Amino acid sequence: MRKILFILTIIGVFVSGCGSNQTAEELFSGAENARNEKDIKGALSNLDLLLKKYPDHVLAAKTQYLIGDIYMNDLRDFDSAIAAYVNVVNNFSGTNQEAQAQFMIGYIYANILSDNPKAELNYKIFLDRFPEHELAPSVQFELDYLGKDINEIDVLKHITS
């Protein structure tokens, strides 16, 4: 019996060690596959491992942004989503994900949490830092109509009619 337990332990250590040899690309792909299969815990596990093992990899910013996306869209945990997006802004300056994350912070505050002061602050930060970004007109629209009901916005009234 002891011999069998020893063999099983050795096999378990070997199998669990295999996952740690995955490349950043394999971990990211595994996370996407897990998410598509609705294994959110597995997706987040792969993404967290990627960030721990490869914090400076070209996929790190995209990974951190995806964590925010998962918290927002799959888990509907908006505080964790904001924290993940803030992490992108603070730790991945100059990446494509930085502006998108800053937008998402404002978006969540404005459209989900109805925290207009925080939405306004984050949208203004976006416009200050990324005035030429393709999302800048959307951010300006959000600021112009922040806190207004859809029926109060002339260009959107047709949606509710």
**CATH assignment of the domain containing 107:** 1.25.40.10
Residue 149's pLDDT is what? Answer: 74
Give the pLDDT band (50/70/90) at residue 160. Answer: low
Q: Phi then psi for 37, rounded to 5 degrees?
A: -90, 10
For residue 5, pLDDT over 60 is answered with no
Structurally, the chain folds into a number of domains equal to 1
Q: Please tell me the least confidently modeled range out of 51-60, 65-74, 142-151.
A: 142-151
For residue 33, pLDDT over 80 is answered with yes
**pLDDT mean over 99-119:** 97
Cβ(117)–Cβ(126) below 8 Å: no
For residue 15, pLDDT over 60 is answered with no
For residue 87, pLDDT over 90 is answered with yes
Give the pLDDT band (50/70/90) at residue 2. Answer: low
For residue 29, pLDDT over 80 is answered with yes
Of 113, 109, 75, 67, the closest CA to residue 92 belongs to 67
Residues 6+ apart with CB under 8 A from 103: 126, 135, 138, 139
Q: Is residue 11 part of a domain?
A: no
Q: Is residue 10 part of a domain?
A: no
Q: Is residue 65 part of a domain?
A: yes
Domain that holds residue 135: 22-160
For residue 13, pLDDT over 60 is answered with no
Q: Is residue 120 part of a domain?
A: yes
**pLDDT mean over 87-97:** 96
For residue 146, pLDDT over 90 is answered with yes
**pLDDT mean over 75-89:** 98
Q: Is residue 12 part of a domain?
A: no
Give the pLDDT band (50/70/90) at residue 158. Answer: low
Q: Is residue 16 part of a domain?
A: no
**pLDDT mean over 137-152:** 88
Q: Is residue 119 part of a domain?
A: yes
Residues 6+ apart with CB under 8 A from 57: 24, 50
Q: Is residue 86 part of a domain?
A: yes
Cβ(98)–Cβ(65) below 8 Å: no
pTM for this predicted structure:
0.82
